[in-house]
Chains A and B, each alone.
Chain A
Amino acid sequence: MFTQVYHIFSLSMRLEWRKKQSFIALFLYTLTTTYLSFLVFNGDVSKETWNAVFWIVMLFAAVQAAFRSFENEASRRFLLYYGLVKPQVLVLGKTLYNFIYLLSIGLFTTLIFTFLLGNEIHNLGAFMLLLFIASAGFSAILTFTAALAAKAGDNPALPAILSIPLLYPQVLTLSRTSIRALTGFSWEFNAPYLLVLLMMAGISIALSYLLFAYLWRD
Chain B
Amino acid sequence: MKQHWWKVLGVVLVFYTIIWGFLGEVPARFILNESIRATYFHVTMWFSMIILMTASLVFSIQYLSKGNRLADLKAKETASTGVLFSIIGLVTGSLWARFTWGAFWVNDAKLNGTAITLLIYAAYFVLRGSVDDPQKKGRLAGVYNIFAYVMMLVFIGILPRMTDSLHPGNGGNPAFGQYDMDSQMRMVFYPAVIGFALIGVWITTLRIRMQKLIWKKEN
Contacts and interface: CB of A to CB of B under 8 A. Distances in A.
Interface of A: 144, 148, 151-153, 155, 158, 161-162, 164-166, 168-169, 172-173, 176, 192-193, 196, 200, 203, 207-208, 211, 214-215, 217-218
B159 A172 contact: yes
A144 B147 CA distance: 10
A152 B140 contact: yes
Contact of B140 (A148, A166, A168, A169): A148
B144 A148 contact: yes
Contacts of B166: none
B126 interface: yes
Nearest to B129: A155
Nearest to A155: B130
30 contacts: A148-B144, A152-B127, A152-B131, A152-B140, A158-B126, A158-B130, A162-B123, A162-B126, A162-B144, A164-B119, A166-B120, A166-B148, A166-B151, A168-B112, A168-B116, A168-B155, A169-B155, A169-B159, A172-B112, A196-B162, A203-B150, A207-B147, A207-B150, A211-B146, A214-B64, A214-B139, A214-B142, A215-B140, A215-B143, A217-B139
B158 to A, nearest CB: 7
A196 B120 CA distance: 20
> Is the contact region of chain A dominated by helix, strand, or loop, or is it mixed?
helix
A121 to B, nearest CB: 23
B146 A165 contact: no
A192 to B, nearest CB: 7
Interface in B102-123: 112, 116, 119-120, 122-123
B147 A211 contact: yes
B212 interface: no
B130 A211 contact: no
Contacts of B69: none
B154 interface: yes
Contacts of B148: 165-166
Given A152-B131, A153-B131, A161-B123, 9 more contacts: A158-B127, A162-B123, A162-B126, A165-B119, A168-B116, A172-B112, A203-B154, A207-B146, A207-B150
A192 B162 contact: yes
A153 B126 CA distance: 12
Nearest to B116: A168
> Is the contact region of chain B dominated by helix, strand, or loop, or is it mixed?
helix
Contacts of A196: 158-159, 162
B139 A215 contact: yes
A145 to B, nearest CB: 8
B83 to A, nearest CB: 13
Given A151-B136, A165-B116, A173-B159, A214 B123 contact: no
Interface string B137-174: 00110111011101100110011001100000000000
A153 B130 contact: yes
A79 B143 CA distance: 21
A148 B116 contact: no
A169 B151 contact: yes
Interface in B64-117: 64, 112, 116
B159 A152 contact: no
B79 to A, nearest CB: 14
Contacts of A218: 136
Contacts of B144: 148, 162
Nearest to A173: B159
A168 B116 CA distance: 8
Nearest to A206: B150
Contacts of A152: 127, 130-131, 140
A200 B139 contact: no
A211 B143 CA distance: 6
A196 B159 CA distance: 9
B116 A214 contact: no
B51 to A, nearest CB: 21
Contacts of B123: 161-162, 165
Nearest to B154: A169
Contacts of B122: 161
